[in-house]
Structure 1
């Protein structure tokens, strides 16, 4: 390797290290800012907690001093016939102990209350923010990762607030207070003990650097485990149908192994630091005992002072163990906060306008206009919809047909504003969708998909999602309009029947009928049906088609369907291929032209014979 190549590689490595350090500092600043924003509303309670812990430590530190006075003054005076000093020492020790215990009780209750309020706020923030993020985010950021942020990462912060903060405050105050008292009691021994801080400071720096890196590994590993678990549970039918159990077990075993290894690395770091603290502490204690005893024998140090010094010294190093545990919890919580703050930093691609525009009044459907619209899912991704113009008059029902992947659903998602176009604009009665408030847009445009997702709860509750606050009679009327009233009435509790998780108590067709009733109750100006009849059998589909005529009346509709029986009720058909409209006309006109739609219609008609 040439000298120039060596220098280039050295510079590249240095640049990489610098970038890594900058990224780490940015993550740390971001997580600290999040923690500060969580604690800021509780600043008064935090200040009170600090006052309580200071008072509690002061009462606790008084104990060894009282013992020293009792040994050096109280006991000799009592032997001489005056027990008052000793009595005052005993009483003072009891009062200090009771005061310390009472203040600690109040402190722990207050810190616990602050911690739970902070965690409640954080969970609400994560859930609220995740709901506001755009569909594009949720298609890339798996639900398992969001669950990991909301569970294991929040639990790490819970551990820090419940145990770590208490340990840190008590330990920091104890170490500071004892250090001062040691120097006051005997300056030479005090300075000797404080010299032992030099290796401890070096060990602490090593610990924080390595523990932060180790716990970032544990946060990433547990997130992957949760993602795999959620994916497996959601896809259990496919898992069992295709006998994927062994493969999933192998994947989970590898992820669990990675998590175990990451935790081992973190625990190894804690073990080394704890060993260093205890080793320094024990060596210091042995040395002080030896030197102090020699000075007591020589008359240079009183026995009570040595006793108090040793008691304080024991307390001096014990809190350092607690600080190690805090540092352990802090590193874990910091790594968790970095992940959580990263999620909270995400911004929706589809944003609500600061000054929304009102839609003009309309008794019928609204005109939908695509003006020089082009779309790609990411800035560097392929073009899904090349630039095009399209006008759909108010009240017209338009069917979109074409091969899978042609761009039909993408076009529908632009109308529902799940995405914004990469260029151009989509307008509703002349108003750009980006200028409408979310509430106005959702009231004007409703999309029914083949997913037909239902939430746990009653059938009536799921239909009422279309218009919260609707009366029971309005809910039943909506169900009757789409032909769902009959099967709902036959359910064990009728409209009050719990559909259970994801609507599992109902068949796919029944779930689709409930979704139609929900859309009908919402009474939108524009209705988008994306393969909305795909889950229906032929008799049910025919019944729904009859209901669709009333559902689609006086409103604009976009229908995406592979079943041409549904398409034929449209006023207009758009044949889409590779993101472009290649045929446009009424069903009858396109059938007569012998083009692509005519070929589709011919094959469909032959399949019915």
Structure 2
């Protein structure tokens, strides 16, 4: 009776496919990481060559010691007994020279390696910072600030620890092992066989350690990143945490992540706790074996006492670098996991790319056109199904509609924070995808609801719109939006340090300073995305005149729920689900019976 053929469940095949995919992905990630490391080290080829020569000289000096000891015991001592001390003096002098050479060259090697390591770290920090600024808004809206901070802090710190001390140690350890084995084999090949036999279990133990520690260190880096992300998010959103009394909830979540990080570290310590003692045991057993075999041969007269002593020194010295390699591998795994994350960040490509042959636009007039624009965020729902819109130069257009109608999306497309899925956005008839970013940023400026102020003075924050602006120009921009009076009331006027995130000014004052910044930039197109939402009623009245002054003879798109801000517009579009449902002047739409008229009536009732 024949057995039925074994059948495999579909889930088994799927699991195999996932395993192959994981392995292929892992290989690709490792290849990407090694490529990045090679690219960073390539400019330092001469320095690496010099460092290599130094470490070879140092290792040769270290390994020469046992060989000289063997000569002293077997040859120099008998010569001394016969009244000839010259050989012992020569060997002693040689031992001293070897020790001095080893010490001087290893010191020089470590200094040279440290200079290379610091240069590599500086370049890597520059690349990470440059990359985070180069990537498009789409990336920053999905890749949290906490994760970016983790790349710049803990991940780069792990790489620094590896480059500062780990690489110098591992290169020296590998050469000591190789030179020790060769020196022992040349001195006595049978003792070399004993050492080679002991290397087999040490190799398998190291492979076991590598397989487990690689997984554990990835888990540790992931847990570390999650902990940092949670901390940054909590500190950033502290007002919301305290306003809703969520301190205990966030503390519990942070403690859970901290416990996950602790457990990841304990798993690493556990595997280290088995690896290090295992190496010590193998090393000690090898010394015992070498002593037993060598002692038996010495008694038989086939081995000199000095050779036995040198063999024991070589065997003992061989296993000490293996322990150093184990310690290095700890740092290496942590750094490898960090390098994978950093290389992943550097491998990201911006979704909004610079044109290869940009169309020059030295002086934009401000005419805008959206030609049958279709847009969706990633694989999400379609936000704008088919928008066809023309905005003549100098016109002030207000966008009104419910949340999710597509108003802010239009603003992001006009400023080219995103590119349309289909269709084109044009500035003065030129597709914005064909404009150099410097021309587009000079022509189109966006002021958002979040008025971000950088650490520095009031003057520096306003001058961000035009770095070379004079004091008179900065003050004129502040006066235009009604910010001059409160700035002059500050302790040092325009030289007052606003601190991080504008800590010395109110939310409305921060918004006025951001208006001044935009006014100073003097763009052809100004986009205001809920830019007056932080202003109270007196503050809004104060800025209305400044807005009208700024919007004269320039194209503007105003997105606002406050209809008092919309009232200054030449034209109003009412959007619903990404489509234009009403289009006209504010007066025309108020006189009608459409959605804008209903919104305006409700707004007037709210004022009463």
Task: Check whether TM > 0.5.
Answer: yes
- Cα deviation code 1:334-359 (max 9, x no counterpart): 11111111111111111111111012
Change (3 A) 1:179 1:600: same
Q: CA deviation at 1:79?
A: 2.6
- Cα deviation code 1:260-316 (max 9, x no counterpart): 222222232233332332221111101111221222223221111111111111101
- Cα deviation code 1:362-393 (max 9, x no counterpart): 5xx41110100011001x21011111200000
Instruction: Tell me what 1:600 maps to.
Output: 599
Instruction: Tell me what 1:429 maps to.
Output: 428
Q: CA deviation at 1:234?
A: 0.2
Mean Cα deviation higher: 297-306 or 226-235: 297-306
- Cα deviation code 1:478-501 (max 9, x no counterpart): 111111111111111111111100
Q: Matches of residues 295-334 of structure 1 in structure 2 within 5 Å?
A: 295-334=297-336
Q: CA deviation at 1:322?
A: 0.8
TM-score, normalization: structure 1? 0.97
Alpha carbons 1:402, 1:408 under 8 Å: kept: yes
- Cα deviation code 1:430-452 (max 9, x no counterpart): 00010011100000000011101
- Whole-Å Cα distance in 2 between the matches of residues 270 and 437 of structure 1? 54
Instruction: Tell me what 2:395 maps to.
Output: 396
Alpha carbons 2:136, 2:352 under 8 Å: kept: yes
Instruction: Tell me what 1:347 maps to.
Output: 349
Instruction: Tell me what 2:125 maps to.
Output: 123
Instruction: Tell me what 2:492 maps to.
Output: 493
Instruction: Tell me what 2:372 maps to.
Output: 372
Q: CA deviation at 1:167?
A: 1.7
Change (3 A) 1:370 1:4: farther
Matched, 1:47 2:45: no
Instruction: Tell me what 1:25 maps to.
Output: 27
Instruction: Tell me what 2:577 maps to.
Output: 578
Q: CA deviation at 1:4?
A: 7.0
- Whole-Å Cα distance in 2 between the matches of residues 174 and 499 of structure 1? 58
Provide the secondary structure at the position in 1 that maps to 2:461.
helix
Mean Cα deviation higher: 259-268 or 55-64: 259-268
- Whole-Å Cα distance in 1 between the matches of residues 273 and 56 of structure 2? 29
- Whole-Å Cα distance in 1 between the matches of residues 526 and 252 of structure 2? 45
Instruction: Tell me what 2:587 maps to.
Output: 588
Change (3 A) 1:156 1:569: same
Instruction: Tell me what 1:381 maps to.
Output: 380
Which stretches in structure 1 are left out of the alignment for 5+ residues?
none
Instruction: Tell me what 1:290 maps to.
Output: 292
Q: CA deviation at 1:517?
A: 0.5
Alpha carbons 1:59, 1:97 under 8 Å: kept: yes
- Whole-Å Cα distance in 1 between the matches of residues 11 and 513 of structure 2? 64
- Whole-Å Cα distance in 1 between the matches of residues 590 and 254 of structure 2? 54
Change (3 A) 1:233 1:301: same
Provide the secondary structure at the position in 2 that maps to 1:384.
strand
Q: CA deviation at 1:510?
A: 0.7
Instruction: Tell me what 1:517 maps to.
Output: 516
- Cα deviation code 1:515-571 (max 9, x no counterpart): 011001000000001111111111121111011111111100001111111111110
Which stretches in structure 2 are left out of the alignment for 5+ residues?
none
Instruction: Tell me what 2:457 maps to.
Output: 458
Partner residue of 2:59 out of 49, 57, 60? 57
Q: CA deviation at 1:237?
A: 1.0
- Whole-Å Cα distance in 1 between the matches of residues 141 and 582 of structure 2? 31
Q: CA deviation at 1:418?
A: 0.8
Instruction: Tell me what 2:72 maps to.
Output: 70
Instruction: Tell me what 1:532 maps to.
Output: 531
Matched, 1:176 2:178: yes
Change (3 A) 1:503 1:282: same
Provide the secondary structure at the position in 2 that maps to 1:370.
strand
- Whole-Å Cα distance in 1 between the matches of residues 458 and 52 of structure 2? 52
Instruction: Tell me what 2:243 maps to.
Output: 241
- Whole-Å Cα distance in 2 between the matches of residues 368 and 561 of structure 1? 20
Alpha carbons 1:360, 1:429 under 8 Å: kept: no
Matched, 1:564 2:563: yes
Q: Matches of residues 172-251 of structure 1 in structure 2 within 5 Å?
A: 172-251=174-253
Instruction: Tell me what 1:551 maps to.
Output: 550
Provide the secondary structure at the position in 1 that maps to 2:358.
coil
Provide the secondary structure at the position in 2 that maps to 1:196.
helix
Q: CA deviation at 1:147?
A: 0.9
TM-score, normalization: structure 2? 0.97
Instruction: Tell me what 1:141 maps to.
Output: 143
Mean Cα deviation higher: 323-332 or 200-209: 200-209
Partner residue of 1:259 out of 258, 261, 266? 261
Alpha carbons 2:67, 2:187 under 8 Å: kept: no
- Whole-Å Cα distance in 2 between the matches of residues 319 and 348 of structure 1? 45
Provide the secondary structure at the position in 1 that maps to 2:8.
helix
Kindly report the root-mean-square deviation, in angstroms, between the aligned alpha carbons of the 2 structures: 1.4
Q: CA deviation at 1:7?
A: 4.7
- Whole-Å Cα distance in 2 between the matches of residues 388 and 534 of structure 1? 26
